[in-house]
Chains A and B, each alone.
Chain A
Amino acid sequence: MAKESRTAIGFEEGRNDGAKWFGDLTRSRFAGPVTPHHRVLSRDVSPETLAVHAGTYEDPVTGAVGTPVFQTSTFLLDDASYAAFSDGTSRDVPIYTRYGNPSQWSVQEKIAALEGSRSALVTSSGMSATAGTIYALTNAGSHIVSAYDVYGGTYNLLREDMPSAGREVTFVDPCDLDAVRAAIRPETQLLFFETLTNPLLKAPSVRGLAEIAREANALLVVDNTFLTPVNMRPLEHGADVVVHSATKYLAGHSDLTAGAVVGRRKFLDRIWAQTLRFGGTLEPIAAFLLERGMKTLPLRVREQNANALEVARFLAGHERVAAVHHPELGGPRYADLEYADYRGFGGMVSFEVRGGDVAALEFMKKLRIPYVATSLGGVESLVSMPSNTSHSSLTARQRSRIGINPGLVRFSVGIENVRDLVRDLDEALGAPDEEDMR
């Protein structure tokens, strides 16, 4: 293989030994990193086509149709490697897998294409993506605004790690834009919110949050795990950076742990540097599995959108269910929702079983199709209770304050036949007894 073809597109153009001053330097920010062998498609192509083809490594030696697994920790050093070390451009040459690997670049290009961006980064987990992003984009002395009901792992990072790292955090209701605006300070540097919250499926206005962030010269980072780019591309609504737990819908098969960050290289190169120092590398085999899983992302998510809606409608009419949370059921929480901004709401439904946590646990034991397990977004349905899993670190009072009431069950609807799922739910819920109905 010619040495030029293993470096990222744009790398060679950025090398300039004849510069006499900064203004003579020729490196600019570009897309990727991707090599000439990675398939780059216009972002105007439909999501289904991007999911299949974007980023595929077209191996010039074997002609393999699928992206090979570059299962190696290190790469041969050459002039390009040495130039990368010298100039600070080691993200653009395969040197060491913690720095970058063509398997990672392949899936990064696919994620970037689907989110409508030019660059992405994959990491070893969703929390690695979130932590790397927050640390990279803030300074000690800064202030962060986030949601009081943000995902438990993120909440713990913000609450337990940020104070000792010199960042202050204010937690607000993500749907209360006045509260978000009131929380802004001169040193506010980052707003971190979810496009659809876990587990109550609140849908804050990304446009509204982006406007507040812009007015404050702060960055808006959103976690788009629950919606996926199939249902919303937050960058088009004004977000600066998007993070994902790719373990969930993007991978889609509950067989790997991964994270992703999407946005401009101006930010992503800093997040990349932070992540490699934290050691949050995605293994090449996991990158391969993620890239393969994503080929069916639009198909899976569309099916999950439809299945979840049908499940939500069934639950809303069941007398043993006290409340159901799903945007398409409407209600006061979604009164201001701009439905045109969404192509669906994913496979999540949350609902409260009458009788509290004990009744909810009994109900889950009776289910025959979904697995009782944490996580979400896979092809198989999963069911769990936030009170004893993702939000167990909160006090009962804190859970009550954010709306996690006794009996709340989180149902991640898979791609099974929805009639089977509804029948199973119906049987597990059973007829209400007198005690439950009080």
Chain B
Amino acid sequence: MRNSFNTAGFSEVVHEIRNDPAEAAFLYSAEACSSPYRGLSAKIGPALFGTVKSARRFSVELRDVAPDGPGPDGPLPMHLALTGIASCALTTLVGGGSAQSVVFESADMDIAWDGGAVTSRIDVGGVPDDATVAELVGQVERFSPNYTTLTRPVPVALRYGPDAAPASAGTAEGAPPTGRPAACRVRWISGTQLASAPLDPEPGEELRVDAPKQLTGVDWGPNPQEYLLMGLAADVASHLGRCARELTGRALPWRVVVRGTEDVGGLLQADPSAVVQLQDMRCTVPDASGLSGAELEKAVAAAWAASEVRYLIEAAPAVRLSSHRVESCPA
């Protein structure tokens, strides 16, 4: 297969959802836990691709976002979010290029968050001319679900407490207090498989990205949307642990569940009117941890306001994307 990308499989999805739009509704979920004893972790939940379920088991152990948190013992939640955005951009680029018979030698994306803006750069190898690169990157800017989730404001509904009641904190505005800058380099490997490595001064473990096998992948890792959702869940969970501790003096475990939908007709342009970016984003904090209602509301509001990943999704921060064509290596 060209670029190991199953173009025929995506073509079949295009025609399937034109016949049955319900098959275009993709649902993703992720969950994060912040524990004073077991640290910060995130995992994905079962995904639904139209009428087909994909239940994979992937989890990531993370570094706490607090400035005084532990050192280089895992990625930050922001690394997961950036990995989700960049891997979606590269999958869109390679997939779209494969559809028009482009053969790639390489495709990498560096992406960095400095606390207020995102800077990114795509390097493409094997593509014959700059015009093709520009066209492909333009398609990423328009059709990549996660990249457009970054560049367009996407509201996230916040619910908390035993009844999962809607929270007014879901309307938090303005840039969050600056946390740790984060950057990673995402490298396209083959087909829908990519690897992401933190670009922080300290080395970090590579994160694997892949489409589920229901969508032509091989289950090598979570998919880009799931990384973005895990990043959000973990960021909120981490801040909840810190904020609750500052407010009440108690170190408590927290669980945060995030879900979101994608109309894949937007990515594939099976339906030009379809929304490309993620939709129906919802973040739920189901565990009240024994706090009073007022304490819980304050902790949730503070964590929500402090979450940089939440800001990334909701606020459409400044984004700079550049691209570069890498000359082919001589044979």
- Chain A residues with CB under 8 Å of chain B are 14, 17, 19-29, 85-89, 138-143, 166, 186-189, 216-219, 266, 270
Query: Are A217 and B53 CB-contacts (below 8 A) given A25-B14, A28-B12?
Result: yes
Does the CB pair B15–A24 fall under 8 Å? no
Pick the contact of B100: A19, A85, A140, A143 (CB < 8 A).
Answer: A19
Contacts of B108 in A (CB 8 A): none
Identify the closest chain A residue to B272 (Cβ): A23
Q: Given A25-B14, A27-B15, are A139 and B56 neighbors across the interface (CB < 8 Å)?
A: yes
Q: Is the CB of B56 within 8 A of A141?
A: yes
Residue in A closest to B19 when the chains form the complex, CB atoms? A28
Given A28-B16, A86-B1, A186-B45: A139 and B268 interface contact (C-beta under 8 Å)? no
Q: Which residues of A contact B235 (CB under 8 A)?
A: none
Interface residue B212 (Cβ < 8 Å from any Cβ of A): yes
Indicate whether B48 reaches chain A with its CB closer than 8 angstroms: yes
Set of chain B residues within 8 Å of A140, measured between Cβ atoms: 56-57, 219
State the Cβ distance, A119 to closest chain B Cβ, in Å: 13
Question: Which of A17, A29, A143, A219 has the largest number of chain B CB atoms within 10 A?
Answer: A29
- Interface size class, chain B: 35 or more
Q: Is the pair A85, B1 in contact by a Cβ cutoff of 8 Å? A: yes
A22, B48: Cβ atoms closer than 8 Å:
no
Known pairs A21-B100, A85-B1; A27 contacts B8 (CB<8 A): yes
Cβ 8 A contact of B53, one of A14, A23, A189, A266? A189
Q: Bound state CA distance, A22 and B46, in angstroms?
A: 26
Check B267 for interface membership: any CB of A closer than 8 A.
yes
Taking A23-B14, A27-B15 as known contacts, 12 extra A-B pairs with beta carbons closer than 8 A to each other, sorted by chain A number, are: A22-B11, A22-B267, A22-B270, A28-B15, A28-B16, A87-B1, A139-B214, A141-B57, A142-B55, A142-B56, A186-B46, A217-B52
Q: Which residues on B sit within 8 Å (CB–CB) of A189?
A: 46, 53-55
11 chain-A/chain-B pairs, Cβ below 8 angstroms: A21-B143, A22-B95, A27-B11, A87-B7, A88-B8, A139-B55, A139-B219, A140-B57, A142-B46, A189-B46, A218-B53
B2 at the interface (CB under 8 A from A): yes
Distance A26 CA – B1 CA, assembled complex (angstroms): 17
Which residues of chain A are near B1, meaning CB under 8 Å?
85-88
Q: How far is the CA of A68 from the CA of B142 in the complex (A)?
A: 53
Complexed CA–CA distance, A29 and B19 (Å): 11
What residues of B have a CB within 8 angstroms of the CB of A17 in the complex? 101
Collect the chain A residues with CB atoms within 8 Å of residue B139's CB.
21
Measured between alpha carbons, how far is A24 from B10 in the docked complex, in Å?
Answer: 11
On B, residues with C-beta under 8 Å from A are 1-2, 6-12, 14-16, 45-46, 48, 51-58, 95-96, 99-101, 139, 143, 212-214, 216, 219, 267-270, 272
Main secondary structure of the interface of A (DSSP, over half): loop
**Whole-angstrom CA separation of A3 from B213 in the bound complex:** 32
Do B15 and A29 touch across chains, with their CB atoms under 8 A apart?
yes
| Contact present for B54 and A139 (CB under 8 Å) | yes
A141 touches B55 (CB 8 A): yes
The winner among A14, A25, A26 for most chain B CB atoms within 10 A is A25
Q: Select from chain A the residue with minimum beta-carbon distance to B1.
A: A88
A187:B8 contact, CB within 8 angstroms: no
B11 near A25: Cβ-Cβ < 8 Å: yes
- Tell me, rounded to whole Å, the shortest Cβ–Cβ distance linking B192 to chain A: 12
Chain A residue numbers with a CB within 8 Å of B12 are 27-29, 266
Residues of B within 8 A of A14 (CB): 8, 11
Q: Which residue of B lies closest to A135 (CB)?
A: B213
Q: How far is the CA of A141 from the CA of B15 in the complex (A)?
A: 29
Contact, CB under 8 Å: A23 / B2: no
Task: Point out the residues of chain B lying under 8 angstroms from A25, CB to CB.
Answer: 7-8, 10-11, 14, 99
Is the beta-carbon distance between A20 and B100 smaller than 8 angstroms? Answer: yes
Residue from A21, A22, A139 in contact with B212 in the complex, judged by beta carbons closer than 8 Å: A139
Chain A residues with CB under 8 A of B8 = 14, 25, 27, 87-89
Check A217/B51 contact, CB under 8 A, given A28-B16, A86-B2.
yes
Which among B45, B46, B96 has the highest number of chain A CB atoms within 10 Å? B46
Set of chain B residues within 8 Å of A87, measured between Cβ atoms: 1-2, 7-8
Which residues does chain A contribute within 8 Å of B52, judged by CB atoms? Answer: 217, 219, 266
CB distance from B149 to the nearest CB of A (A): 19
CA distance A44 to B292 in the complex (A): 66
Residue of A nearest to B142 (CB): A21
Contact status of A88 and B57, CB under 8 A, knowing A22-B99, A23-B14, A186-B46:
no
Q: Give the distance in Å from the alpha carbon of A21 to the alpha carbon of B97 in the complex.
A: 8
Q: How far is A17 from B45 in the complex, measured between Cα atoms in Å?
A: 38
Best-buried of A21, A24, A27, A143 by chain B (most CB within 10 Å):
A21
